Amino acid sequence: MLRYILLALGLIVLSLLVWHIGPANIYEAATQLGPTALLALLIPSVIMYSVEAYGWKIVLGQAAQRIPFWRLLTIRSAGEVVNMTTPTAYLGGEPLKVYLLNKYDVPMAEGAASVVIAKTTMTIAEVFYILMGIALAFWILGAGSSAGQTITAALLSVGLLVCSIAGFVFIQHRGLFASILSLVKKFGVRIRSLEAQEEHLRSIDQTIRNFYSHHQKAFYVSMGVYFLGWMAESMEVFGIIYLLGGSMSVSSALSIGALAVFIKGGSFFIPGSLGAQDAGNLLLLQAFGYSDVTGITFALLRRFRELVWIGIGLLCLATVGKNRVPQNQEMENPS
């Protein structure tokens, strides 16, 4: 029920923003873009999704040889559509990725370990990207301005995020799922589904530990690849402002792109970050000297991109793994 309330509030906020700025003004700004320009705006996100799928492929290791890259990209798109449309802190689609990998002969332990590690490297790269954006914002806007004070608060929030990630990596070394099981038992809670899968969960923990022990280079390479994926966000920012007839420096595009990622991540509990993301992007563009019309048009164009990828993700979800059975199951259940 709460998610529906948040979704409704987000829709109300977005509607009020559009009404306050003026639908006619927004329409006039958007009409500067034709179909070709709208397609061009999708190029950075295509790069981002492709690069991030490759970052996942790196940590998948030898299991990646069992599945072609285009299929891995399809599976990732299917999982991400769940992350984008549900209030699950961008984690709801991760079990789906493991399930779909298993349909293509990737063992559950290897698939689950790769998803956990890829989420880790992606998040670390995201933090570096946001920190870069905050540093550039201080340089461009100045620490003494009202925007600078807001950015200082954002820096403190990122500091907490860094501590959380460090703790998450530490727990992975100790055994992520074993720690969860131990914590559940300490509270006297019995979850039969977890207990039944205890041996399998410990196998995933061991696979994760083996990766950190023997594949440190792959970890850092994946992190670097994900960082390049995040940089594509700034390409999109630059492209939107350019197509709207505005001017923007590379440093401003990098800063706005990174801070927009931070705003979206901070509103994960709202389905699609509806309302919060749009208001945040509007205020962000205003802080960098752009008009209300440019700010809300920018936010709506990013929504357009998200809707396109939701459609693509749903198509992938409907088709990936269809009528596919892992070979080991086919051997166990001959017709």
Rg (CA), the chain: 21
Helix axes 43-60, 216-243, angle to 10 degrees: 170
- Determine, yes or no, domain membership for 14: no
Instruction: Please report whether residue 25 resides in a domain.
Output: no
Question: For 264-290, what is each residue's pLDDT tens digit?
Answer: 887 777 777 888 889 989 999 998 999
Mean pLDDT of 193-211: 80
- Cα-Cα-Cα-Cα dihedral sign, residues 138, 259, 88, 170: negative
The token duo for 14 is 């977005």
The counts of H helices and E strands in the chain are 16, 0
The pLDDT of 24-49, averaged and rounded, is: 85
> The domain containing residue 168 runs over which residues?
35-321
What is the predicted pLDDT for the residue at 321? Answer: 60
The answer to whether position 335 is within a domain reads no
Per-residue pLDDT band for 335 (boundaries 50, 70, 90) equals very low
Contacts of 225 by beta carbon, 8 Å cutoff, 6+ apart: 51, 52, 54, 55, 58
- The total number of structural domains in the chain stands at 1
Does residue 167 sit within a domain? yes
In a domain, 278, yes or no: yes
In a domain, 5, yes or no: no
pLDDT tens, residue by residue, 62-120: 888 888 999 999 999 999 888 887 766 566 788 899 999 988 888 888 999 999 999 99
Q: Where are the alpha helices (DSSP H) in 175-249?
A: 176-186, 192-196, 198-214, 216-243
> What is the pLDDT at residue 330?
44
Cβ neighbours for 284, distance < 8 A, ≥ 6 positions apart = 256, 259, 260, 263, 295
Per-residue buried b or exposed e for 39-68, using 16+ beta carbons within 10 Å of the residue's own CB? eebbebbebbbbbbbbbbbbbbbebbebbe
125 falls within a domain: yes
pLDDT of residue 84: 80
Handedness of CA 326, 329, 334, 335 (dihedral sign): negative
Average pLDDT, the chain: 83
Quick check: 54 and 69 in contact, CB under 8 A? yes
Q: Which residues of 268-280 are buried (b: 16+ CB within 10 A; e: fewer)?
A: bebbbbbbbbbbb
Domain-embedded: residue 302: yes
CB 121 within 8 A of CB 108: no
| 86, burial (CB in 10 Å: exposed 0-12, middle 13-18, buried 19+) | middle
